[in-house]
Amino acid sequence: MALFGTGAIKGLMVTLGYIRRKPFTTQYPEDKLEQSPRFRGNTFVWYEERCTGCATCAKGCPLGIIRIVTHPEPHSQVGSDYHVDVFDIDTGRCMFCALCVEVCPYDALHMGGDFEQASYGREDMVISVEDLKAMPKKPRTQFRPQMEMIGHDGKDELEEHEAGRWSL
Amino acid sequence: MQSPNQPNTVDSPDYDIEPVLLNLGPQHPSTHGVFRIRTLLDGEEVVDVEPVFGYLHRGSSKLAEERSYTQVITLTDRLDYLSGMTNNLAYVRAVEALAGVEVPERAQYLRVMTAELMRIASHLMAMGFLINDLGAWVTPLMHMFREREKVLDLFEMICGARITFSYMRIGGVSHDLPPGFDAAVNGFLDDFEERVAEYEKLLLENEILVSRMKGIAQLTGERAIECSVTGPNLRASGVNFDLRKQAPYEVYDRMNFDVPVTQNGDNWDRMWVRLQEMKESAKMVRQCMADLPDGITRTEADFFIRPPVGEVYSAIEATKGELGFYLVSDGTIAPYRCGIRAPSFINLTVLRELCIGWKLADLIVNFGTLDINVGEVDR
């Protein structure tokens, strides 16, 4: 080693070079970074007419935070149908793995988008069936991955005939 | 209590020095999480070290027994939370071996690519926190964090999450590459090579780092093998053992890469091996993107898959060492037993003998170069 301290000074020169560069960070509440199109957030989109109340999403959830209560109801074409009374998603415990989206056989549940979910109580974090009905019916960012293979990009409304399992 | 017959003063030759018991952690910034080290100190010299863990125990093995095979993937994200992709990969490989599921070639390339990106991110964190512990407060750590952010951005593009990916699926991966990923990953890699050169300039010649790390806490190759140490810690001790070379899985046999091995086994070598491994990983990501075949990314496998009765042990070279999953199936939708060979936990075996005889300040560095992750130690 030559003179003691030259290596440290070389390192400091690297740090000094950063004066010329633009900062990498953003000031969060004012500037927001653009999310990727597949971001898994806490917005849930539910297609009421496509959901049959089969509760596969509730079974597929690793934490069991989806609660579904149904009752049979007469249907004009198929005899009887299940009407969804309760569809509670406890996003306070949700870990946003999107497995509920992946298992839905009718592509009735989609998620994504929002990530700011602060609230004053845990009970406010539960998304009820009324909240789900009020959500804009547009598949947000996370939908069943297989649908990408048939050319769906999540920006448009889904047609009725596109629903259902393409593979798996 | 002192008896009056025994004078106990500093001048007295009978002065009895008792070692001091110091609890380092569980909430100490240098213990990388909630990890506690009971240290017996003679002055500043370490006499004995006892790692105490379990503060982050979540019972992942037990939780896995009451979840279906696909749902357990979400648990594996949380084992070593700095390298979720390799955890996912180790687990789904075990299930695939158990159930006999084939994986498409494109999915294998995607798995190797994401695992190597994860290795870059994890080694960056290991080095960053090590230098943070050495006293270079936050600035070098932020350099490493910045590059890791870019890797996490790539993962967010692929699967939608930044830490808890759940990207791998039984029989493939959940998503194909998004549009615009080629440009993003190539941009990252071009930038990353410059940054690694910058890190080397910043770190490798720094006299403080050299004098704090060279020759400190040497681990011989024989002792490392005796203690089942794996990963970069083993390779720094001169043992050329890497599951990617010795027992290639996925498409690692087609990858052209070197395994950096050093001979001294001291703190410096453990850091240096990680720095070189990041370069090799970057090379492999480039190869994967160049050779990526077309095709499907997932074969048909049930969400509630029922593997036949049997047991399997499957291991991969994760970022911290050999990560293995031992699964027992009784033919139902949930594993009967899910055992995890966590490399961080087993690498801790050598912590005691690495630290004895060195100063307390060296203990922090030795602990940092071992690169353990508390989420994986406690599971």
Name the nearest CA neighbour of B162 among A24, A33, A148, A140. Answer: A33
Q: Is residue A6 part of a domain?
A: no
Reference B86, options B98, B332, B94; nearest CA is B94
**B315 part of a folded domain:** yes
- Which chain B residue shows the shortest CA-CA distance from A4? B207
Number of domains within chain A: 1
A–B CB contacts, 8 A cutoff, strictly below: 92
Q: Is residue A12 part of a domain?
A: no
Residue B374 lies in a domain: no
User: Is the CB of residue B101 less than 8 Å from the CB of residue B170?
Assistant: yes
Q: Residues of A with CB below 8 A from B91's CB? A: none
Q: Is residue A25 part of a domain?
A: no
Residues of B in contact with A103 (CB under 8 A): 303
B31 lies in a domain?
no
Query: Is the separation of the CB atoms in B108 and B345 below 8 Å?
Result: no
Is the confidence at residue A113, as pLDDT, over 80? Answer: no
Indicate the residue of B164, B178, B203 with minimum beta-carbon distance to A95.
Answer: B164
In chain B, the number of structural domains is: 1
Question: Which residues constitute the domain of residue A69?
Answer: 30-162
Cα–Cα–Cα angle for B149, B150, B152, nearest 5°? 65
Which segments of B204-229 does DSSP mark as H helices, in order? 207-213, 221-226
Residue that the structure tokens 């490989």 belong to: B93
**A149 contacts in B (CB within 8 Å)?**
176, 296
Q: Are B179 and B157 in contact (CB under 8 A)?
A: no
User: Cα angle at A166 between B288 and B169, to 5 degrees?
Assistant: 40
pLDDT tens, position by position, for chain B (379 residues)? 445 555 555 555 566 677 888 888 787 766 777 888 888 888 888 888 888 888 888 888 888 888 888 899 998 988 888 888 999 999 999 999 988 888 899 899 999 999 999 999 999 988 888 888 887 778 788 888 888 989 998 998 888 888 888 888 888 888 888 888 889 989 999 888 888 888 888 888 888 888 888 888 888 889 889 989 998 999 999 888 888 888 888 888 888 888 999 988 888 898 889 989 998 999 899 988 888 898 888 887 778 888 899 899 999 998 988 999 999 998 888 899 989 998 988 988 888 888 888 888 888 888 888 888 888 888 8
Q: Is B160–A38 a contact, with Cβ atoms under 8 angstroms apart? A: yes
- Indicate the burial class of B315 (C-beta count within 10 angstroms; 0-12, 13-18, 19 or more): buried
Q: Please tell me the distance from the alpha carbon of residue B141 to that of residue B199, in angstroms, as a whole number.
A: 11
The domain that holds A75 is classified in CATH as 3.30.70.3270
Identify the residue with better confidence: A153 or B49: B49
Residue A90 belongs to some domain of the structure: yes
> Taking Cα atoms as reference points, which of B118, B111, B143, B113 lies closest to residue B129?
B143
Q: How far is A143 from chain B (nearest CA, A)?
A: 10
Output A124 or A167, whichever has higher pLDDT. A124
User: What is the distance between the alpha carbons of residues B293 and B291, in angstroms, rounded to a whole number?
Assistant: 6
Contact yes or no for A95 and B139 at CB 8 A: no
Q: Pick from B74, B198, B203: which is nearest to A95 by CB?
A: B74
Give the CATH number of the domain where residue B152 resides: 1.10.645.10
Q: What is the mean pLDDT of chain A?
A: 77
User: What share of chain A in percent tops pLDDT 70?
Assistant: 77
Whether B18 and chain A come into contact, CB under 8 Å, resolves to no
Domain that holds residue B94: 59-347
The pLDDT of residue B328 is 92
Taking residue B361's Cβ as centre, other Cβ atoms within 10 Å add up to 13
Instruction: Identify whether B302 is part of a domain.
Output: yes
Q: Is residue A20 part of a domain?
A: no
In one-letter notation, the amino acid at residue B229 is V
B262 Cβ under 8 Å from any chain A Cβ: no
In angstroms, rounded to a whole number, what is the distance separating the alpha carbons of residues B44 and B47? 9
Question: Does residue A166 carry a pLDDT above 70?
Answer: no
In which residue are the tokens 């960012």 written? A141
Q: Taking Cα atoms as reference points, which of B162, B174, B128 lies closest to residue B271?
A: B128
Whether residue B4 lies inside any domain: the answer is no
Which pLDDT score, from 0 to 100, does residue B80 have?
Answer: 86
Measured between beta carbons, the chain B residues lying within 8 angstroms of A60 are 70-71, 303
The verdict on residue A23 lying in a domain is no
On the question of pLDDT at A155 being above 80, the answer is no
Tell me how close the Cα of A31 comes to any Cα of chain B, in angstroms. 17
Domain-located, residue B361: no
